Amino acid sequence: MSADPTQTLAFDTSCHLFSGCGFPAPGLHSFLFKPLWGDADSNLYFNKTMLLALIGSIVVVAFFWAAFARPKVVPGKLQMIAESGYDFIRRGVVYETIGKKEGEKYVPLVVSLFFFVWMMNLWSIIPVAQFPVTAIISYPAILAAIVYVLWVGLTFKRHGFVGAFKNFTGYDKSLGAVLPLSMTIELFSNLLVRPFTHAVRLFANMFAGHTLLLLFTIASWYMLNGIGIAYSGVSFVMVLVMTAFELFIQAVQAYVFVLLTCSFIQGALAEHH
């Protein structure tokens, strides 16, 4: 590994097949960025993903501001699009999982989560940016943490301390002798594994997607030499295919993230199961 793993571009562009240098494969270093400001060793810096995160949140707010700031009973085109997105999350996710009465309170949070995550994912295929912000674990982690605090807090508030404990452990007398074991597993699964998988599911999907895109993009460029051009073409087709696939995965992962959020909230509010 080179002394400085971070680069301005994702790979070394001077390297080609048959020119005596190895394939500059993408790896963990592809997810490290030189700070635009500050020092990477201290905790005071500003880099590309932070810039994208902030711009992304401004884009989301700007979109909804343009659509909903002065909404009309008879909607314009932009309002109609935003409304259908809003309605999809509200009705299709929140009402479906939590129910209309209990779920109404959490609609703003879930809608914000969905569009925020989707925007962060979308950066992956937006030219120049071309990096999914959610492929840095911090972003999914902070969102998962917010959701975790919310649903754990809700469980205690709804069921009291003992009730919450029963809720976390899936307490069920009919299990008999295996109850202690089942309770231990459930407690571990719900309180420790759940937030971790919640964050990592999103992170890993975006991480892998970006790696795949990088792989084919780098390969297209790397093989662009001599007879390699033919392979390069194949690789470039894969770049296009993977870009389309990523577009789909980005939406799906944002959807899965909020669907899980809702199912956690629903579990916290539900009576003993």
Q: How far from chain centre, in Å, is Cα 163?
A: 32
First-residue to last-residue Cα distance in the chain: 52
Instruction: Please state the closest distance from residue 145 (CB atom) to other proteins, in A.
Output: 8
Angstrom distance (rounded) from CA 228 to CA 242: 21
Kindly state the smallest distance separating residue 193's Cβ from other proteins, in Å.
14
Backbone angles phi, psi at 107, to 5 degrees: -60, -50
- Name the nearest CA neighbour of 214 among 61, 28, 84, 42: 28
- Near other proteins in 76-115, by CB under 8 A: 79, 82-83, 86, 107-109, 111-113, 115
Applying CB under 8 A, among 60, 126, 129, 212 the residue interacting with other proteins is: 60
Contact with other proteins (CB under 8 A): which of 56, 132, 209, 267? 56
Residue 65 or 88: the one with the smaller Cβ distance to other proteins is: 65
Q: Rule CB under 8 A: is residue 142 a binding residue for other proteins? A: yes
Q: Whole-angstrom Cα distance, residue 89 to residue 11? A: 38
Calculate the alpha carbon distances from 174 to 170, 179, 272 in Å: 11, 8, 13
Q: What is the nearest approach in angstroms of other proteins to the Cβ of residue 172?
A: 33
Binding region for other proteins (CB under 8 A): 5, 28, 31-32, 43-46, 49-50, 53-54, 56-58, 60-61, 64-65, 67-73, 79, 82-83, 86, 107-109, 111-113, 115-116, 136-139, 141-143, 146, 200, 203, 207
